[in-house]
Amino acid sequence: MKAIHTSGAPAALGPYSQAVCKKGFLFASGQIGIDPLTGTIGKSFEAQAEAIFTSLSNILSAANMSFRNVVKVTIFIEDLMNFDTLNNIYARYFHEPYPARETIQVSRLPLNAALEISLIASDL
């Protein structure tokens, strides 16, 4: 197993890697909308979502992959009223055939984030 680390994504908030690669698969830890340069979380849902996708893009790039390699996405969202906004932003990064996905409403996320996204990608 190889840990993936990039300064283009926030440092881990605990004892875990930003992502790990094993046998052609990348497992990216959940990302929240933190700006890796300032350490601050976005003020709006949209700002947090954009920061997350930028971080995920940088993690994928550090593993020599892109969003085209993603096979599974998991989204934790604080308020499903933001579901349409999420889908509009998501559609800018993913194209058919779309990866498998689930979106789960939760009561609270680290740093009171509005959403958290993790993914699995493969270079196979």
Degrees (nearest 5) of the Cα angle 31, 84, 118?
A: 20
For residue 124, the model assigns a pLDDT of: 82
Give the pTM: 0.95
**CA atoms 122, 4, 6, 62: torsion sign:** negative
Given a cut of 90, whether residue 12 has pLDDT beyond it is no
Domains and CATH numbers, the chain: 2-122 (3.30.1330.40)
For residue 13, the model assigns a pLDDT of: 80
The band of 14, judged by pLDDT with boundaries at 50, 70 and 90, is: confident
Query: Is the CB of residue 92 less than 8 Å from the CB of residue 52?
Result: no
pLDDT tens for residues 45-101?
Answer: 999 999 999 999 999 999 999 999 999 999 999 999 999 999 999 999 999 999 999
